[in-house]
Structure 1
Amino acid sequence: MITYKQASTMEELEQILALQQLNLIKNISEEERKNEGFLTVEHDMDILKTMNDVCGHIIAVEDDQVVGFALCMHRQFANSIDLLRPMFEEIDKVIENKNGYMAMGQICVAKSHRGRGVFRNLYLTMKEKLPEGIDTIVTEVEGKNTRSLAAHAAVGFKTINVYASGELEWHLIILQ
């Protein structure tokens, strides 16, 4: 049985990083990127733990193994990851309540658990666990990641902006 909760141990954070490595764009084939989606940002333990200390990351766990995660990224981390700085700049342009949202920094489901509702349940749990006064989740998806764009649309995300950063096209999306 899969359970959903906020990460609370170093072992869980280590498992998040291990799952992340298996799904980074640099570690998978072109075909897998197209069919399964991919992760763009690589975190290190320091930033992952610091972010978790502010708002616990949402994890899906089965048999003591993290099989999915959704990273909570409070706006205080806007300048912590170079690749995500433009996202926060775009958020500032289109979101009126700067303190009323949580950025979802990355979501991933283990290949063995895809198609079982884990993605949707990670977001449902994230909505339940948002800190007081925060009622909106904002994230971005790289335009070529069509599987992720479709999955986010299926759980209710709406595109609020599309912008270029470097050579990439990003879709800024929101769930209220």
Structure 2
Amino acid sequence: MPVPSPIIALETAKSVQQFEQILKLQKSNHRDSLSPAQQIAEGFVYAQYNLHTLQQLSEFEAQIIATDGKKVIGYNLAISTQLVSKLPDLKSMFYAFDQTTYQGRLLRTYSYVVGGQVCVDKGYRGQGLLRRMYNEMKTLGNGRYELCVTDVSQRNTRSLQAHLNIGFVVAGTYEHDGEIWHTVVWDWKKQR
């Protein structure tokens, strides 16, 4: 297990090398790379992005990374709703979001950014990096968005609890490809 440095920086991913490190971290934490027991204990990521998609996402929103030196040890991908038509793999998620109600209004009536995927390297968990990355996302999106919306697999209880601890609330549930998903919302208008 790596020994974390005392200073872990947050920054916006810009270089191909940083995006490649995101993909490496994604692959090692993807559900297909983990046993069912590991998925329960450590959580997992579901979507598989590629370099082109990450670069495309970064044209619209800052992609937050946590770094220990030059090593990417965490990431928080943000997806603009402007990219819905360009991300066919996420079509069912966006459709579910459009049908979900939060505080008596359909999500589509709010301005929101999508939390596209978040991951922290196993050796760096438990240090508040998830919260720091989401807070950075909020800082960068404040004034442009009312909400941050994402979905979490029902099986990924570690991730769901981490999101709830940050301030997300479950706004809805849907099924896709045999997986149950919770649509979770972080209201940036509320103080937390």
CA displacement at 1:150 relative to structure 2: 0.6
- The partner residue of 2:91 within 85, 89, 95 is 85
Of stretches 106-115 and 95-104 in structure 1, the one that deviates more from structure 2 is 95-104
Structure 1 unmatched runs, 5+: none
Query: How many residues matched?
Result: 176
Query: Amino acid of the residue matched to residue 122 of structure 1?
Result: M
Task: Indicate conservation of the 8 Å contact 1:127/1:135, yes or no.
Answer: no
Q: Is 1:43 the counterpart of 2:49 in the alignment?
A: yes
Q: Is 1:100 the counterpart of 2:111 in the alignment?
A: yes
Equivalence for 1:75 = 81
Bigger CA radius of gyration: 2
Task: Indicate conservation of the 8 Å contact 2:97/2:108, yes or no.
Answer: no
Equivalence for 1:139 = 150
CA displacement at 1:140 relative to structure 2: 0.1
Secondary structure (helix, strand or coil) at the match of 2:59 reads: helix
CA displacement at 1:168 relative to structure 2: 0.9
Cα distance in 1 for partners of 2:139, 2:57 equals: 18
Task: Indicate conservation of the 8 Å contact 2:57/2:80, yes or no.
Answer: yes
Q: Is 1:21 the counterpart of 2:27 in the alignment?
A: yes
Per the normalisation by structure 1, the TM-score is 0.94
C-alpha root-mean-square deviation of aligned residues, in Å?
1.5
Percent identity between matched residues is 30
Equivalence for 1:2 = 8
Equivalence for 1:121 = 132
- The partner residue of 2:70 within 64, 74, 99 is 64
- The partner residue of 1:158 within 144, 154, 169 is 169
Structure 2 unmatched runs, 5+: 1-6, 188-192
Cα distance in 2 for partners of 1:166, 1:26 equals: 15
Query: Amino acid of the residue matched to residue 33 of structure 1?
Result: Q
CA displacement at 1:22 relative to structure 2: 0.6
Cα distance in 1 for partners of 2:159, 2:23 equals: 19
Per the normalisation by structure 2, the TM-score is 0.86
